[in-house]
Structures are given as structure tokens and as C-alpha cells.
Structure 1
Amino acid sequence: MQNIIHIPKPAYPWPTVYSPISETFYKEENTWYDTDYGFMSPESIKRYKKQRLVQVGAFMSPTTSDRDIFRPIGRFAVYVTTFDDYVELMPLEELKVFRDRIFEVMTGEDPQPEEKGILRQMAAARKEFMDNGMPQFWIDRIATNFHRFITYGIMEETPFKFNKTDPSLARYLMIRAYSIGMVTYGDLIEPATGFALPVDIYNHPVIQRLVMLLATIIAIQNDYASIRKEMTIESERFNIIFILQNEQNVSFEEACIEGLRIHDEFVKEMESLSICLPDFSPYQKEVENYVYHMKLMVTGCNAWYYEGGTQRYFPDGFAVTPDGQNPILLDFEVKHISRE
């Protein structure tokens, strides 16, 4: 009988709302893979079809019941995740070229037929967002934040993975907030609610801090949900549990406890800011609704990990790694448990 390591689940003071359409987009999702993801290996496509990535979009935008409004949100949930997997160990010069082309497509250019199909998904989402009333300044913002996701997230992680070194905790928190993709994913609150925050409101320091808290909380949340998978990947360095073990020279169990303590402090800060927002008149109600949906993103993503039925975090369920490395076999089992 294998030993069992118990991993506590993050918990939140906010409600979890469930989408009425979370089980209805799998056929379309599979069509997207078959049509536009042929640049990936057949085995990766097979595994992605079991990961229910479009479902996470529904879990994180649970108040969106209109399929036309949700469709580009679902596309985004799929392509931000598959892109992250695909470029994980891509040489930086090659990634810079890809990054800049993505920005061009996300802000208005159409991809050429010979280009990677993921660009067609990005172009389709852009047009659908605009058809649903999203203004150009918001299109430019989500593209800029996707550019930052690559530049300040993925590209900052890559040297640590190539060199097999660990960042400090402070550096990890800065990089991981971007590399989780949630700074740009948080922009999906606005098409889901039908209101794009004016530029001056989005750029307000309180809103910007909430954006970074959203990203950081979900980054740590993801570290706990994916820990079993990441234990099997030699190049994986960016998990707060691993970082704390190495930096503080503590046991795995102690690192788990400390990581959740750090996570809970960020949750408290997000709640404290949310109940004491500045005066954003005449858009106070819209901003309050935006912040409410930030909280729904946090609880929705957490629910997806444990209730959505995804196979992404099982050894035979995540995509084939870019360098083709085989997963490390574990002689123990990992079980996630609710916190008392």
C-alpha cells in the first residue's frame, strides 16, 4: 500500500457560483483542437480533450449564460493554457518573435494561412469580443496584458528552468503572478459582465493591486492543485511549496502550511480592499460588480480543480512536455483534503 501525502485545499470567505453552461461546450472545444491545434502533437491533443479547459472558463465566469458571450471566453481559456504548455521550454529569441506576432493578431491583424492555428483562435476571439460590444481600448489592454504574461512571466521563468535553479520567494511571487496568466485572464471579467472599466479606473492603484492579488492568489491555488503533477517533472521549479522547502530549509509538510499562510494573507488583503473601495462615481456599482466577479474567479477556479473532472493534473492527463521528458514515477499518492 502506497503512503499518502495529504495536501490541504485553499479556502475562501467568498461564495462559489456554478455556471449553467459549464458542461455544454465540449463539442466546440474539440472542434477547435481538431481545426487549429494541429501544430501540437497528436498525443497532446488527445490529452487536452480530457482536460476540460473550456470548462474552467465557465467555472470562472459563472454568471455568463449567453453562449455567444461565453464563446470567446472559452476560446481564451483554452489558448492561454495550451500556449503556456507549448512554449514552456522554447528558446527566448524564438518566443519573442511569437509573442510580438500574437500582439499584432490580438490587436487587429489577421493571421496568414500558414501560421499556427492558435493565432486563428486568437483572431476569432477578438472579433467575437468586439461583436459583443467590447471597445478597442479593452482589446488593446487584453493584448498588452497577454504580452506581459509572456514577457514578465514565461520568459522570466525560462532561465530558471533551463539552469535548474530556484528563485527566491519574493522573485517567485512577482514572476508567478504573471506566468499563471491571470493578469490577462482577469480582463475576461468585463465581457462577462458587459462593462469595460474606463482606462483611468483600471489604472487606479487599488484596482491594479486587486488585479495582482487575483493573479497571485490563483497562482498559489494552482500550485497546490498541481503539486502531484509537478513532482513528476524535473524542470518544474515554480511551485511555492518547492520554493519554501529550499529557501527556508523546511519539510514538505511545513512548506505546505507556510504556503497557505502566505496565500491567506493575500486573501485577507483582497477582502480588505474590496470592502473599502475608492469613490469611482459615476461607475461605483460597475466597479463593485467587477470586484465581486474577481472573487468569483478565485472560488470558481478552485472549484474547477477539485470538482470539474479535469484530468490535467494526473500523470497521464497533462500534455506531453516540449522536451519529451518522461514523468518521474512517485512511490506515494497525493490526496487533497479540505481545511478544518
Structure 2
Amino acid sequence: MKTTISDEEFYAGLQRLPKPKYPFPNSIHHDFQLQREEYYDWIDREYIFHSKEAREKHKQHNLTDIAARGCPFLKNLAELRPLAIYAADGAMMDDYFDRCSYDEMKDIATHIMTLLTDDDPDEPANNDIFHRFWILRQSAIACEMPERLYKKFLKSLHEVLIGYADERVYYRSNTIPPLPVYLLIREATSGAKPFCQYVAMQKDYRQLPDSILEHLHIQRLHTICALMIGIHNDIISLPKELHREEDTMNLVKVLQQEHKTSIKEAYMMALEVHDNYLKEFLVLQEHLPSFGQWQEMTRNYVQDLGIMVAGVYAWHTNDTSRYVNGGYVEGEFNSKQ
């Protein structure tokens, strides 16, 4: 991509195309500003492996707002903190390791999981991305996250990290994946599955038994949430990804390749795919299985999954710094492979 490009070139008419819409309420956690202040502080103290320019851009992105908007009903800052750490550090890690290899990303994922599972209980000596994930575990313990919910959260987080590794194969080869492969990887790399698990930390949902939280009906709703978030991210980030080689994991690019069509036609196809998932979500929401005494709580939990999706999208639409012309952070990791 050219170092300097006009806004007209960057957006190429895409701004006027229709955008996703959700029928769910939009809210934000009452402690979002306090969480932002923590976020600015840890960037200054612990992200010194990033360039000054990258750190200042990350501050502008307010990545912890993704958690504050996705789970606005958490009781306090302590409960918000683990999700905010995951959201912000996951995004910044994805930026930093943008051009690493599959093997390097697998090694990074393995190291992170040893810290999150306490297989490696020692606090990392350096202020780096690994130290941040060690802090995530300490924050989950501090807010008394139930062990069974933490394990579900970790399982889905591990899938995100594996997805990050899998997509590197396509990035490094500058190859657009076929649609079935894209959908599998994007379900993971949207980063939404851990959010779906964390929704159960709100209100009284931690009371919901595993037989409900792991029910196929609920799991399908989680998958749909992940794909809607992945696709709406693709739609918003498309101008950036059209101007960077190796940004191949985007549904619009996938559909353009599969259907040999224009970018704008592929964009409309991608929006239709998104909207079909939204329709499926609403049908499944309306036709929940019989969950007995848990019926009303499950219905509310599913509604809050929708609010989570709308909240993440609201972060995208309120953010004016991450996916705009020149606003994104380039990968700074020095790959050895």
C-alpha cells in the first residue's frame, strides 16, 4: 500500500453502501471510562515492545470499549476487567503478530495457554503480551469468575488463537481461502466466542446449568454471533484490507473470488450472508427448546447475546480511528521464518 493515499482512493465509494443493522438495544458499561484509563496506563507501561506510533494509535482505538459495549450489564469494573483485557490485548496482539508464520503463532498460542491455565504459574518477568495474559488470569480469579465458566471461556479463547495461526497460512501466501475454509477460520478469529461465554457472567446467568450453556441450540447461537461479528468486521475493515496485500481473510474478497464479480457486488453478497445469519438468530431466539424452570433466564441470556453483537458493532461504528485511512497499526513482530 502507498504510504500516502487520499480518502477518496481509500474508500472508493464504499461508504455509501448499506451497512448491517441489528434489532437489539445498545448500551455501554457504567465503568467504561475507568476501564479506558486502565487501558491507557497499561499501554504506556507494558506495551513498550510496540513503537510509540503504534501505542498512540492503540490508545485512540479504545479497544476496552468493545467489552464495555459487549457486556454492559456486568456488576462492576472487576467483572469487566478480564473481558476488557482479552478484547484489547487480543486485538493488539493480532496487530503486532500480523505477519508472523503459522509455526510462530502456534508457539505463541501455546505459551499464552500455559499462562491462562496456570500450567505455568510464574509471573512473566518482562512486560509483554504474555504478561498481559497472565494478568487476565489473575483478574478472573479476583472477580471470582466460576471455574466452570472460566474453563468455557478459555476453551473458546484457545480456538481464537488457533484460528489466528490458521489464517497466517493464507496471509503469508497472499491467498484468498475458499468460502467453507473462511467460515471455519472466521468463526474463531472474530474473537466473539469468548464474549458469548462471558455473557453468562452478567445478571444471574452463571446459575444456568451446563446442560443449557452447552446445548446445541445455544452453541449454534454462539456460532451465529461469531460469524455476524466476523462479517460486520470484514465489512467495516474492507477499505483497509483492499489496500494491503496479504489481508485475504475477508468475506467480500472471498465472495469476489468465488463468484468472479466486482467488489461492490461481492460486498452486497457479504451483507446478505450476514443478514441471513441474523434471520437465523432471530428464529432460534423465538423457538428455544423447553428448558423448564430456566426458560425465562435462558430467553434473557439469548437476548443479551444479541445485545452483545449489537454492542460490538456499536464500538465499530463509534470508533473513528482504527479502520480509517492510515489509522490501523502495522505488524511490528520480526518474523524469523
Q: Does TM, normalized by the shorter one, top 0.5?
A: yes
Give the Cα–Cα distance (whole angstroms) in 2 for the partners of residues 42 and 36 of structure 1.
12
How far is the alpha carbon of 1:262 from its aligned partner? 0.9
> What corresponds to 1:319 in structure 2?
329
Larger CA deviation: 127-136 vs 192-201 = 192-201
- Give unmatched runs, 5+ long, in structure 2: 1-5
Give the Cα–Cα distance (whole angstroms) in 2 for the partners of residues 278 and 187 of structure 1.
19
TM-score (norm. length: structure 2): 0.88
How far is the alpha carbon of 1:58 from its aligned partner? 1.1
Partner of 1:143, secondary structure, is helix
Partner of 1:20, secondary structure, is coil
How far is the alpha carbon of 1:236 from its aligned partner? 0.2
Check conservation: 1:312, 1:318, Cα contact below 8 A: yes
Q: State yes or no: 1:175 paired with 2:208.
A: no
Check conservation: 2:60, 2:321, Cα contact below 8 A: yes
Check conservation: 2:103, 2:165, Cα contact below 8 A: no
Give the Cα–Cα distance (whole angstroms) in 2 for the partners of residues 117 and 167 of structure 1.
32
How far is the alpha carbon of 1:199 from its aligned partner? 2.9
Match of 2:132 among 83, 96, 121: 121
Deviations 1:271-311 (A, max 9, x none): 1111111122343333222211110111111111112x341
Give the Cα–Cα distance (whole angstroms) in 1 for the partners of residues 156 and 126 of structure 2.
22
Match of 1:56 among 61, 66, 89: 66
Pair 118,289 (structure 1): closer, same or farther in 2 beyond 3 Å? farther
Q: State yes or no: 1:266 paired with 2:277.
A: yes
Check conservation: 2:39, 2:64, Cα contact below 8 A: yes
Check conservation: 1:50, 1:317, Cα contact below 8 A: no
**Aligned ranges for residues 188-207 of structure 1 at < 5 Å?**
188-196=198-206, 197-207=208-218
Partner of 2:125, secondary structure, is coil
How far is the alpha carbon of 1:178 from its aligned partner? 0.6
Check conservation: 1:70, 1:192, Cα contact below 8 A: no
Pair 192,76 (structure 1): closer, same or farther in 2 beyond 3 Å? farther
> What corresponds to 2:256 in structure 1?
245
Larger CA deviation: 11-20 vs 153-162 = 11-20
Structure ranking higher in helix proportion: 2
Check conservation: 2:101, 2:165, Cα contact below 8 A: no
Check conservation: 1:20, 1:62, Cα contact below 8 A: yes
Q: State yes or no: 1:288 paired with 2:287.
A: no
**Aligned ranges for residues 1-340 of structure 1 at < 5 Å?**
2=8, 4-5=13-14, 6-64=16-74, 66-108=76-118, 109-115=120-126, 117-151=128-162, 153-196=163-206, 197-307=208-318, 309-322=319-332
Give the Cα–Cα distance (whole angstroms) in 2 for the partners of residues 229 and 111 of structure 1.
39
Partner of 2:17, secondary structure, is strand
Identity %: 28
How many equivalent pairs are there?
322
Higher relative contact order (CA 8 A, sep 6+): 1
TM-score (norm. length: structure 1): 0.87
